[in-house]
Amino acid sequence: MRFLLTNDDGIYARGLAALYQELSKDAECIVVAPEVEQSAVGHAITIFRPLMVRKARKNGSFLGYAVAGTPADCVKIGICELAGGPVDLVVSGINRGANVGINVLYSGTVSAATEAAIQRVPSIAVSLDTHQEADFTAATRFARRIAAFVLRHPQPPVALNVNVPAIPEAEIKGIAVVKQGHARLMENFDRRIDPRENIYYWLAGETELPACEDEDTDACALKRGMITITPICFDLTRYDLLDSLKSGIKDHFPRL
C-alpha cells in the first residue's frame, strides 16, 4: 500500500507528523506538502511559474517533499511524479480548525482531497475542530480507521471530508454522514491607513452560527460532538436548476 500525505498547514506542521506516524503502521507513506502555510487557498493551482521541490529533512532524516505551491499542486505532482508508483489513497491533514459549511470552498485541505478524486485516487481530508494547541490522537486514530474503510469499499474514487471534534476520544458521540451546511463568515472589512497613507483592509467578521435544531449538517453534527463525514463532489453543476433554467432561457431567447 502506498499513501500520499499532504496538508495546507505546511510540511513541518504537527498535524501532518501525527498523521504520518499513525498511517505508517499500514502503508508506505509519502509526504508531499506545501513549503509554507497555504490556508484558504481553495483549489488554486500554479500554472505561470514553476514549482520548486525540495527534499525536506527533520533531525537528519527524510521527511518528505516540500513544494513551493498549493495543496492541489502537491497532490498533482505527488501522484504524477514524486510518489514513485501508484498511489492507493491520499490523506490531507490533520488540519488545525474545522472545515465545515461554506468554509469547505476556501479550504486547501479539502481541495487537496478533491484533486485526488479528480485524479481517480480515493481521498480523505481530516480536520480537527480547534485552533489551539491540539491533541491529534483521536483524529489520527480515526484517520487510520476511515482509511481502512475506504480501501475495503472499492467505489468510484471519492473525496471524503472528515471533521473531528476536539474532545477526548471517549467523549466522541459517534459518526455522522452528513451534508455540507451553508453557514458562512459574515464578513466585514476593517479599514486602515498605512504609514505611507495607502488604504488597506483586513477581512474580519464572525462565522454565522447555524440554527441546529433540525439541521443535519456537518457544522451541526460536529457541534454535537460527532465525527462528521461528507462526500465531496468536483462536478459543480446545480442539477436541481437545469430544467427550469432551460425553459426560462428558451422563453427569453426564442430566436437563439
Site string for a second copy, 20-39 (x = CB under 8 A): -----------------x-x
114 near a second copy, judged by CB under 8 A? yes
111 near a second copy, judged by CB under 8 A? yes
CA 172 to chain centre: 21
Rounded least distance, CB 121 to a second copy, Å: 13
Rounded least distance, CB 211 to a second copy, Å: 17
Q: How far, in Å, CA of 182 to CA of 164, rounded?
A: 19
Query: Which residues 6+ apart lie within 8 Å of 76 measured at CB?
Result: 45, 115, 119
Residue type, 9: D
Residue 34 corresponds to which cell in the numbers above?
506545501
Contact 114, 161 (CB under 8 A): no
Rounded least distance, CB 36 to a second copy, Å: 10
> Nearest Cα to 164, choosing from 127, 133, 201?
127
Return the range that interacts with a second copy (CB under 8 A); candidates 16-24, 89-97, 127-135, 235-243: 235-243
172 near a second copy, judged by CB under 8 A? yes
Show contacts with a second copy in window 188-207 (CB under 8 A). Answer: 188-189, 191-192, 198-203
Contact 140, 177 (CB under 8 A): no
Contact 98, 129 (CB under 8 A): yes
Q: How far, in Å, CA of 69 to CA of 51, rounded?
A: 6
Q: Which residues of 20-37 are buried (b: 16+ CB within 10 A; e: fewer)?
A: bebbeeebebbbbbbbee
Rounded least distance, CB 97 to a second copy, Å: 11
Q: Which of 63, 157, 184, 207 binds a second copy (CB under 8 A)?
A: 184
179 near a second copy, judged by CB under 8 A? yes
Closer to a second copy by Cβ: residue 211 or 242:
242
Q: How far, in Å, CA of 183 to CA of 2, rounded?
A: 36
Show contacts with a second copy in window 38-77 (CB under 8 A). Answer: 39-48, 50-54, 72-73, 76-77
232 near a second copy, judged by CB under 8 A? yes
> Nearest Cα to 6, choosing from 103, 57, 71?
71
Q: Which of 84, 152, 170, 197 binds a second copy (CB under 8 A)?
A: 152
Closer to a second copy by Cβ: residue 24 or 205:
205
Show contacts with a second copy in window 124-143 (CB under 8 A). Answer: none
- What 3-state DSSP class applies to 27? coil
Closer to a second copy by Cβ: residue 1 or 233:
233
182 near a second copy, judged by CB under 8 A? yes
Rounded least distance, CB 201 to a second copy, Å: 5
